[in-house]
Amino acid sequence: MAKHKRASKRKALPAKASPGRSRWRRQLAWLVTGPVGIVLLLVALGWYTSLDVDDVSRPRPSDGRPQITLLDQDGVAFASFGDRYGDYLSLEQISPWLPKAVVAIEDRRFYHHPGIDPIGIGRALIRNIQAGRVVQGGSTISQQLAKLAFLTPERSLSRKIKEALYTIWIETRLDKDEILEAYLNRVYLGSGSFGADAAARRYFRKPAKDLSLPESAMLAGLIRAPSHYAPTRDLELARTRAAVVLGAMVDAGMITAELAASAKAAPAALAEPETRSATGYFADWVVAESRLYAGGEQNRLEVRTTLDRNLQAAAEAAVRTAFAEHAESREVEQVALVAMTPDGQVRAMLGGRSYAASQFNRATQAERQPGSAFKLFVYLAALEAGWRPEDVLSGAPVEIDSWQPRNFDDRYPAEVRLVDAFAESVNTAAVRLSEEVGRDRVVGLAERLGIVSEIHDHPSLALGSSEVRLLDLTAAYATIANGGRLVWPEGVEAIRGAKDKVLYRRREIDEPVLEPATVRAMTAMLQTALVRGTGWRASLRRFAGGKTGTSSDHRDAVFVGFTDELVVGVWVGNDDGRPMKRVTGGGLPALIFRDFILRAQGDLPFLPAPPPPKPRDDAPLVAVRDAIGNLVGGVVRSIRGLFGG
């Protein structure tokens, strides 16, 4: 049986081919499956994929963080965010130390392999096995360039095949120096910097051609792990990594041991950071919203903002002057200021005394007690409920739910007009009024005018016990300044993306939220607060109104006021909530407001702070005096009119 099977198999074999035909088939199989065939196939595929590839010699924008440029209201750039791209540089425009350092640490056989280095891959594999983890990669500079220029970060077999094809394409199209040049202009070097030019200016504030050996070694050392070795994160670690690069340069014969020792003894030092002026607070605020319009093709955005840098400078000067005179004696450390137009366009913003020291924005991020500045909503609610400024209410002591408010001057008038209670910030009267009109009505009105913070339902809400943002509080006062229309504070005028495409343009809000009669009455009360109330230090010759606010134990002091052109909110205090030394809203914040307005609207001469108002007991005499003065003034004007004077 076995013999029969073997015989059957022999009969099934094909006839023996002729020697010539067999040799041709073997040569064809060798061409298809052998090394030459593989090379031809790869070259063919590489040629095919090159038909629609980008120009590898030019860097393209990152698919990560968009580059955002901020312009002020005059169209002048004042800040930029996101990834940084420097100028494209030739090798001759780059310090010769940097290419040597990069080749030494990243691809020592760069000038000797065809793009893919089997020896380098084998060496890396052995070292990784010995270390028990990945300590060295096998990618050549050409492979890294292929990744940077054409591929996504995904990890897959198809991506590795594409990487090999693009590497071959690069090696066939560019010589070694051109490959290295393109790589140095594309490689990510940390802190949002792409390419040698951007990194040299970011870390050392100099062009790439002026990089020293220690600086070049530090940049080359960043390539493997830019975030981990970033000198802005850990300078000593970056220097340690640079020393490794210098050692590799010695091993590669690129520098002498003596030169490396000298570079290690005097390691690279970072340039002093560019301390962005106080516009940084404003910039951080608007760029967060601008990023919503990035993505897809929008890798670069140009944002036209509402910032007026003259007003910004005026705000900085006013704060600097006030703090130089009062900060130490009054034990106050921080400040916030917002200045906007009556329709909500933010012209100036300070989120603290120093952006370099703290980027926390106390104007937009901090929630602090506004004190009596919150009374705006109490009195607006009363006016809407039918009360009038001349109506009388009691300022006598009051107790609600075992809680008793106190007046700042410990005076408790039995009767006081609404306008006087507001101007002199009589707490007991405000609490009685809030309870009379209803706390829910006060809360609803605050929310209607843009207060988004939670307001606690407690009798003390009338005195500003709930925390709010200065930005929102200032916008609420702007509603009074503009005649009763809703204000949504904005810092962005327009946003343009790729190909100058308009992605956003600010639109005017024309939504009445208060009746004109209510606004007129409230405006008069706010003016009175500056003329003869707690805000007298902020009074001006021009039209102005405002309100002071001081939280318990002098932990917060606020002043919000407005003129015909600007609405300004000022807060001072300490980040840790420590009490200041008897600082009130009518003190330091009011002085800052007045100084800022005089600097910002410079059509009036600087006037010294007016004297404090007379006590209310003299009010009848003051009224008589003012009446006589008006009468005399009228007579004088009539006489001048008769004689043409």
Residues 274-308: tens digit of each pLDDT: 556 779 999 999 988 777 766 556 667 899 999 99
Cα–Cα nearest to 196, from 100, 113, 263: 100
Number of domains in the chain: 3
pLDDT of residue 632: 43
Q: What percent of the chain has pLDDT over 70?
A: 76
Give the pLDDT confidence score for residue 113 in this predicted structure: 86
Structure token digits, residue 197: 């030019």
Last residue of a domain, one of 265, 300, 324: 265
pLDDT score of 52 more than 60: no
Residue 27 falls inside a structural domain: no
Q: Are 564 and 637 in the same domain?
A: no
Q: Which pLDDT score is estimated for 126?
A: 60
Q: Which of 20-24, 74-78, 189-193 has the lowest mean pLDDT?
A: 20-24
Long-range contacts of the stretch 198-202 (C-beta < 8 A, 24+): 198/84, 198/85, 198/86, 199/86, 200/86, 201/86, 202/84
Task: Write phi, then psi, for 420 (nearest 5 degrees).
Answer: -75, -40
Residue 129 lies in a domain: yes
Residue partners of 374: CB distance under 8 A and separation at least 6: 446, 461, 462, 463, 464, 466, 468, 473, 549
**The domain spanning residue 224 has which CATH number?**
1.10.3810.10
CATH of the domain at 548: 3.40.710.10
Q: Quick check: is 624 in a domain?
A: yes
pLDDT at 613: 58
Mean pLDDT across the chain = 83
Lowest mean per-residue pLDDT among 38-52, 396-410, 615-629: 615-629
Q: Give the pairing of strands 300-305 and 67-71.
A: parallel
| Domain final position from 265, 293, 318 | 265
Q: In the prediction, which pLDDT does 3 show?
A: 41
CA–CA gap between residue 94 and residue 100 (Å, rounded): 11
> What pLDDT is attached to residue 497?
86
Confidence band for 116, pLDDT divided at 50, 70 and 90? confident
Q: Are residues 575 and 635 in the same domain?
A: no
- Using an 8 Å Cβ cutoff, are 598 and 604 in contact? yes
Among residues 265, 300, 323, the one where a domain terminates is: 265
In this structure, how many other beta carbons lie within 10 angstroms of the beta carbon of residue 384? 17
Looking at the fold, whether 247 and 347 belong to one and the same domain comes out as no
Q: Answer yes or no: is 466 within a domain.
A: yes
Predicted pLDDT at 512: 96
Which value, in Å, is the radius of gyration of the alpha carbons in the chain? 37
Q: By C-alpha distance, which of 122, 121, 160 is closest to 140? A: 121
643 and 568 co-located in one domain:
no
Rounded distance, CA 31 to CA 27, Å?
6
The answer to whether residue 12 scores a pLDDT higher than 50 is no
Helices 213-222 and 235-251 meet at what angle, rounded to 10? 100
Q: Which of 67-71, 121-125, 158-162, 452-456 has the highest mean pLDDT?
A: 452-456
Residues 568, 641 within the same domain? no
Residue 31 lies in a domain: no
The DSSP result for 283-333, as a single string, is HHHHHHHHGGG-BTTBSEEEEEE---HHHHHHHHHHHHHHHHHHHHHHT--
168 pLDDT band, cuts 50/70/90, is confident
Do residue 231 and residue 356 come from a single domain?
no
Minimum mean pLDDT among 44-48, 226-230, 275-279: which range? Answer: 44-48
Which residues does 639 contact at the CB level (< 8 Å), separation at least 6?
A: 645
In terms of residue numbers, what domain contains 642? 614-645
Give the integer Cα–Cα distance in Å for 642 and 108.
Answer: 100
Q: Does residue 23 lie in a domain region?
A: no
Handedness of CA 380, 539, 627, 617 (dihedral sign): positive
On whether both 145 and 228 belong to a single domain, the answer is yes
Q: Is the pLDDT of residue 532 over 70?
A: yes
| Res 349: pLDDT | 97
pLDDT at 375 over 90: yes
**From the CB of residue 635, how many other CB atoms can be counted at a distance below 10 Å?**
10
Tell me how long the chain is: 645
* Token pair belonging to 14: 């094909």
Which residues have C-beta within 8 Å of that of residue 609, sequence separation ≥ 6?
A: 537, 591, 594
Q: How far apart are CA 587 and CA 45, in angstroms?
A: 77
96 pLDDT more than 70 = yes
pTM tops 0.75, yes or no:
no
Q: Are residues 589 and 619 in the same domain?
A: no
Please tell me which residue, 184 or 2, carries the higher pLDDT value: 184
Residue 47 token pair: 């040629």
Q: pLDDT digit string (tens) for 621-641?
A: 444 444 444 444 444 344 434
- Domain identity same for 622 and 601: no
User: What residues contact 414, with CB distance under 8 A and at least 6 apart?
Assistant: 394, 395, 396
User: How many whole angstroms separate alpha carbon 154 and alpha carbon 173?
Assistant: 25
Same domain for 254 and 344, yes or no, is no
Question: Does 556 lie in the same domain as 623?
Answer: no
One domain, residues 210 and 344: no
Reduced to 3 states, what is the DSSP secondary structure of residue 562?
Answer: strand
Distance from C-alpha of 491 to C-alpha of 475, rounded to nearest angstrom: 13
- pLDDT, greater one: 241 or 25: 241
> What backbone phi and psi angles, to 5 degrees, belong to 410?
60, 25
